[in-house]
Structure 1
Amino acid sequence: MLKARTLFTAAAMLAMLGACSDPPPLDVDGGFLRLNPNPNAPSAAYFTIHGGADDVVLRDVLTDEAVRVEIHESGTKNGVASMRPVKTVDVPAGATVKFEPGGKHLMLWSINPQALEDKKMTFTFIFSNGQRILADAIVQQPGADGEMAGMEDHSGH
């Protein structure tokens, strides 16, 4: 009986220690940029933001490798697809916010040819808590992944 109680106590203490550990930090990863087949139209970039211990707001995204970057959100309402710029994105504590085809994404105009040659771009994500997180995105040539499904249509911009 004493042995079972000791094992139970040890397991309970480990569970409590696990609950006391620090939450994962705010982070951005999984970046990729899909080039638009029309070089005169903007391309789209996608990332995953992992919320940290506190709620934050994504206030801006910058890169030196494009003339202009905007945060956009696509969606469908009453069967009609639309896309609109958004100023900020809420990132709840511990949540995952995906920038993905058909949803939130970054639009980029006039990408630096060197970034295309390097096949990588670096972005700075600026949050309401003052944090600036650098995240890389792999540059994908149009059709490089065998499909363009989900490619945002930016030809009208």
Structure 2
Amino acid sequence: MNTQYIAGMQTTEISHPQPVSVSDTKVWLEMCSWTVRAGFPSPAADHTRKRLDLNELLIRNKEATFIFRVKGDSMNGIGIYEGDELLVDRSIEAKHGNIVLAVLNDEYTVKRLHRRGGVVKLIAENPLFPPIVVKDGEELVIWGVVTRNLHKLY
């Protein structure tokens, strides 16, 4: 069991729900050596390619990285939608402004961490959801920091 201290409050890690671990199998894709413009197309490009392992590109610490599927729309304002898969790294120390997977009173949620002047808030990125101010006596665990959002486009 892991104990963390957030804004002077002792928190204890809980063990549910279970995340999906990242596989050891390399996932190789061809990567083009040029960048793709999101504005006007480039008239010419070098077609040199190299092989890229998605694990190396997406994951900083394999042993501490897990995938969670999003439910709800409180983070739509920054492009995190219901059904997206989030890569969450438990080895990164959460800082003010990070998007985190938090456990507040045994409830999992994804929010932006606000930590200033002894006040801790979990901020939604959707104006329909008010900030959650963590009060004394409430149990808050920052389970991990969200490092990537895997958003399906089709």
Q: Which has the larger Rg? A: 1
Which of 1 and 2 has higher RCO (CA within 8 Å, sep 6+)?
1
Structure having the higher helix fraction is 1
TM-score under structure 1 length normalisation: 0.22
TM-score under structure 2 length normalisation: 0.22
